[in-house]
Structure 1
Amino acid sequence: MSGVVDAHVHLWNLATDPQPWIDPESMAAIDRDFSSGDLERMLDATGADAAIVVQAWNSIAETGRLLDDPGRRIAGVVGWIDLTADVQAQLDALGAGTRRRLVGLRHLVHVDPDPGWLARPDVGAALDALATRDLCFDLVIRPWQLPLAATVAAGRPGLRFVLDHLGGIAESTDDAAWEADLRALAAHSHVRAKISGLAGLVDDPVRLRRVVGVALDAFGPDRLMYGSDWPLTRLSTGPVVWRARVDELISDLSEGERRAILSGTATACYGLGT
């Protein structure tokens, strides 16, 4: 796919898909519906052409509605199914394979009550099944979960993993430990990562540049992708400022390397346009 791909956005209708994690006081800016029409206006404002819509709550009904959304600039959906149940049956019910819009799956590991959820045998079997269906698995985790993610990834070289938000670095209090663990995960060539979920660090430009520099060195541009994390980015700088900051952070790279981050990695990893 040519043009800029925003690899991480969300859509929701609170009437059909409530988001219990949204606090109406501290998150008032996102405590409303966000439609594909809103998405198109955001993409226009940030100079992006298409987006990957990512599930916001662990709900297969939400995933089905995202897949059915007629938004013309939705390039793919990273949805959710119960990875502790019959994976093949759920994927068949969603039409995976015939509806190429389903490009990956994700589970809210960072808030799961089971700290070892990623290491469960039934989850492992489910991840193996995703590989056979040519689907990616997005990792939404916190820094302390990076070592477990690296262990899981090491055991499944046939599955494409995508680390969201650089492993939650924006919430880390120990950048040195985060860096060591991120590099251990990045050592596995089938793992990619998103430069997303970092807009809250814009007010600390030194740390932001250092964090992105670590990711560039660990993964390389061909395994990194840009994401706005809209509409959550409305809680900080907003998507336009974040896109401008990303452009600044990658300005010293070659044209081909910038293209990889802004579209090539997402296109190849998620199989967009196939």
Structure 2
Amino acid sequence: MIIDAHHHLWDLGVRDQEWINGPELAPLKRSFLLPDFEHEVRQAHVAATVLVQTVTVAEETPEFLSLAATSDLIAGVVGWTDLTAPDVADELARLASLPGGSFLRGIRHQVQAEPDPGWLTRPEVLRGLRAVAKAGLVYDLVVLPGQLPAATRAAASLPGLTFVLDHLGKPPISSGQHEPWARHVRELAALPNAVCKLSGMVTEADWASWTVDDLRPYADTVIDAFGPRRLMFGSDWPVSTLAAGYGEVVETTRQLTAQLTPAEQADVFAGTARRVYRVAPSGGGQYVGHGAPAAD
């Protein structure tokens, strides 16, 4: 069984995804809807998923919550709200009260796009993060390697909030560089309230020629630093399609975790996401979309 702890959906008929620009991202310049995703996971043992925000637009999170309420597949939503807003606590409460609000599991902001490497430690941001913790949510970190030290300081100052590192902190896999990313990620992993997603690796590598061995040093680093009980699988679909198909991402993650025991692999592929995001798969642990169990 798999819980996919990180995927996206977007409808360009509703709004543009401004981050999709340039010829290299042209394959993503179309709508990726829930039926498209269900088609992908039908060949995998995917019991449930976590849908993650894509843009800093307030309307997206209510849309995702409503979608989760009608889906047998989406079991949690990581949304967006302005952490620096004075009424952030009230906004989190409002989101939770909306249709599908019970599916809200976390908040994320595109910190990677912030020019200030210390953005996460700004007083107004920390105040917003405290509101996230008080609301019983987690915080997803989408950061670049140079922003990891600030993420570590923020996590250290808020021990009651679980910080989930997306995409291993985006290590420079394509260049083969390991430091200082590895040192920074180990510092974050030393904190008990930090968790990491095995996600996004194929798109940090050379899209056309990556191999499992290219990814292995980075996967090994986070496996050693966080341990299986603080690691979770995420496909990062459809961004991952720039470099690999859905099944290839799953199989690659299986190869990268093959040295773990069956129980440890079960944590990576389902147990950690179940604990961190409070995911309760429907259908007794089987994906029930389109009336048939799936397999990814």
TM tier relative to shorter chain: over 0.9
Decide which moves more: 44-53 or 208-217: 44-53
Indicate the SS of the match to 1:60. coil
1:187 paired to 2:190 = yes
Deviation at 1:271, TM superposition (A): 1.3
The structure 2 residue matched to 1:248, chosen from 236, 255, 265, is 255
Residue 161 of structure 1 is matched in structure 2 by 163
Contact 2:117 2:150 in 1 (8 A): no
1:67 paired to 2:65 = yes
Distance 1:213 1:272 in 2: 26
Contact 1:104 1:136 in 2 (8 A): yes
1:186-265 equivalences under 5 Å are: 186-200=189-203, 201=205, 203-265=210-272
TM-superposition CA deviations, 1:206-236 (whole Å, max 9, x none): 3311111111100000000001100001101
RMSD: 1.8
Distance 1:272 1:205 in 2: 29
Residue 138 of structure 1 is matched in structure 2 by 140
Distance 1:172 1:40 in 2: 30
Which runs of no fewer than 5 residues in structure 1 stay unpaired? none
Deviation at 1:34, TM superposition (A): 1.2
Contact 1:96 1:102 in 2 (8 A): no
Contact 2:198 2:234 in 1 (8 A): yes
What number of residue pairs does the alignment pair up?
272
Distance 2:77 2:260 in 1: 29
Q: Aligned AA for 2:169?
A: G
Which runs of no fewer than 5 residues in structure 2 stay unpaired? 282-296
Indicate the SS of the match to 1:175. coil
TM-superposition CA deviations, 1:33-80 (whole Å, max 9, x none): 111111211221333221100000111201110111122200100000
Decide which moves more: 91-100 or 125-134: 91-100
Q: Aligned AA for 2:76?
A: G
Distance 1:265 1:60 in 2: 28
Deviation at 1:29, TM superposition (A): 1.9
Contact 1:84 1:123 in 2 (8 A): yes
Residue 34 of structure 2 is matched in structure 1 by 36
Contact 1:179 1:214 in 2 (8 A): yes
Contact 1:8 1:227 in 2 (8 A): yes
Indicate the SS of the match to 1:46. coil
Indicate the SS of the match to 1:100. helix
Deviation at 1:18, TM superposition (A): 1.5
Contact 1:81 1:90 in 2 (8 A): yes
Distance 1:115 1:172 in 2: 22
Indicate the SS of the match to 1:71. coil
